[in-house]
């Protein structure tokens, strides 16, 4: 994984006029945003819409607002300190603490990769009828090619490729709305926060768990730092923070819109249809309701989601290991090592939907370990200096943290007890 050196501040300095081509500074948040449109989101959003209609639209809106704050703080930490969140943790924890923290983060990264490889394999099965193990292997090989772009050509080309895949994801999951019979009044009613039984609470917690991803929190601080470099002046940091706000808002507006579109599509076309609790079943229902063309477009979007998210997840795992253990292994070698567990699960015939659900539980366990240090460090003057969070920002960030942690522990409890 390449890291920008001291010359990297010229990314800002080269943009000479007052506007300095703000668009050129965008990109890191779009890579992190892939975590918000991965196959876990697809499964959760389609299930929510098919089973409960427009009821849980508000959950996705709230999750996206939370995500904007979280990802902004992560990038801010990297830009101001010149260090990623894992690197800061690595300097503040004891050796045993670093190993333990890395262990849980590594398990979370593997769970993330599991969901993303499975999602890509399901897409290839939908599009071409390939067996899941073969599809998983192809996803792994293609993701190696994507990671090779970053390893050989740097972060900016990798960002552009990921942004192109995000565009495919958007088209794939939004196209169905163009021919779907939407009830916009009911959709607007879904903005009112409410539940209908324990089953909807479980699903809402799962949707949140599929949206706020620990590896995206760790990664964004590294992406922002590596893209823009270190050693900036005060005015340079302020400029980058301004660009970062736009980057995060634009990226997550896209990701949030895609998630909401998936739920609306399921609510309008799949409501009450049996079998939509699996991605394959939902795809079959989409084909039946909206036609084979929309079904193919959906499959392409799912494939792009799996390819992009597994590449970004592998990138995140490398950043986590490097920061916490001060050890680097080639991205491609890491890709092989994390791909093996997913291929084993696909080969032995484990139900892919069950594996996706289990991966979301693992992600829920990992969220507090990433989120609490992020909010704590960005609120410490000894870490952030004059760029410390304001009182209002810190209060809002802690409120978000409390809500996310509580909902994710609720997800774990309801999953273990089998509440409906």
Comparing CA positions, the residue from 98, 353, 316 lying closest to residue 226 is: 316
Q: Report yes or no on 115 lying in a domain.
A: yes
What per-residue confidence (pLDDT) applies to 341?
A: 83
What per-residue confidence (pLDDT) applies to 371?
A: 94
- Let me know: does 227 contact 4? Beta carbons within 8 Å: yes
- The whole-angstrom separation of Cα 75 and Cα 94 is 25
Q: Report yes or no on 4 lying in a domain.
A: no
- Let me know: does 266 contact 282? Beta carbons within 8 Å: yes
CA distances from 155 to 28, 54, 142, 262 (A): 9, 39, 18, 30
End-to-end CA distance of the chain: 44
CA 259, 260, 262, 266 torsion-angle sign: positive
- The whole-angstrom separation of Cα 235 and Cα 213 is 31
- What tokens appear for 228 in the block? 């823009």
pTM: 0.89
CATH number at residue 131: 1.20.1740.10
Q: Report yes or no on 265 lying in a domain.
A: yes
What per-residue confidence (pLDDT) applies to 21?
A: 65
Q: Report yes or no on 274 lying in a domain.
A: yes
Q: Report yes or no on 321 lying in a domain.
A: yes
Q: Report yes or no on 2 lying in a domain.
A: no
What per-residue confidence (pLDDT) applies to 326?
A: 84
Residues (pLDDT < 70) of the chain are 1-22, 209-210, 357, 360-361, 415, 418-420
Domain count for the chain, please give it: 1
Q: Report yes or no on 15 lying in a domain.
A: no
- Tell me the residue range of the domain where 193 lies: 24-415
- What tokens appear for 2 in the block? 């390449």
Comparing CA positions, the residue from 261, 298, 311, 270 lying closest to residue 126 is: 298
Q: Report yes or no on 176 lying in a domain.
A: yes
């Amino acid at each position: 994984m390449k890291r920008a050196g001291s010359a990297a501040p010229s990314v800002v300095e080269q943009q000479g006029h007052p506007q300095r081509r703000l668009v050129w500074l965008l990109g890191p948040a779009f890579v992190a945003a892939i975590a918000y449109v991965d196959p876990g989101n697809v499964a959760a959003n389609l299930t929510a819409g098919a089973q409960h209609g427009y009821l849980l639209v508000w959950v996705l809106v709230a999750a996206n607002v939370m995500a904007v704050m979280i990802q902004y703080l992560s990038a801010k930490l990297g830009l101001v300190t010149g260090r990623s969140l894992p690197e800061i943790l690595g300097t503040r924890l004891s050796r045993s603490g670093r190993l333990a923290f890395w262990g849980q983060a590594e398990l979370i990264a593997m769970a993330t990769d599991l969901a993303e490889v499975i999602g890509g394999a399901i897409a290839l099965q939908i599009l071409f009828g390939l067996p899941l193990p073969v599809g998983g292997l192809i996803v792994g090989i293609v993701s190696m090619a994507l990671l090779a772009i970053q390893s050989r050509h740097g972060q900016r080309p990798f960002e552009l490729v990921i942004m192109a895949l995000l565009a495919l994801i958007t088209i794939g999951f939004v196209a169905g709305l163009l021919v779907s019979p939407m009830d916009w009044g009911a959709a607007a009613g879904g903005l009112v926060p409410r539940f209908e039984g324990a089953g909807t609470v479980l699903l809402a917690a799962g949707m949140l768990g599929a949206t706020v991803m620990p590896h995206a929190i760790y990664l964004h601080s590294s992406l922002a730092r590596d893209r823009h470099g270190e050693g900036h002046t005060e005015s340079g940091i302020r400029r980058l923070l301004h660009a970062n706000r736009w980057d995060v808002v634009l990226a997550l507006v896209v990701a949030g819109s895609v998630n909401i579109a998936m739920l609306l599509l399921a609510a309008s076309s799949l409501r009450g249809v049996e079998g939509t609790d699996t991605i394959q079943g939902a795809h079959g229902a989409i084909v039946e309701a909206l036609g084979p063309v929309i079904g193919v477009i959906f499959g392409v979007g799912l494939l792009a989601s799996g390819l992009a998210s597994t590449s970004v997840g592998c990138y995140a795992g490398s950043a986590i290991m490097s920061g916490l253990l001060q050890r680097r292994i080639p991205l491609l070698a890491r890709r092989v090592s994390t791909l093996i567990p997913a291929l084993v699960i696909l080969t032995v015939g484990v139900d892919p939907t069950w594996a996706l659900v289990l991966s979301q539980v693992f992600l829920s366990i990992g969220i507090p370990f990433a989120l609490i240090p992020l909010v704590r460090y960005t609120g410490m003057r000894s870490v952030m200096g004059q760029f410390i969070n304001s009182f209002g920002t810190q209060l809002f960030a802690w409120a978000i943290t409390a809500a996310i942690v509580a909902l994710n522990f609720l997800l774990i409890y309801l999953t273990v007890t089998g509440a409906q």
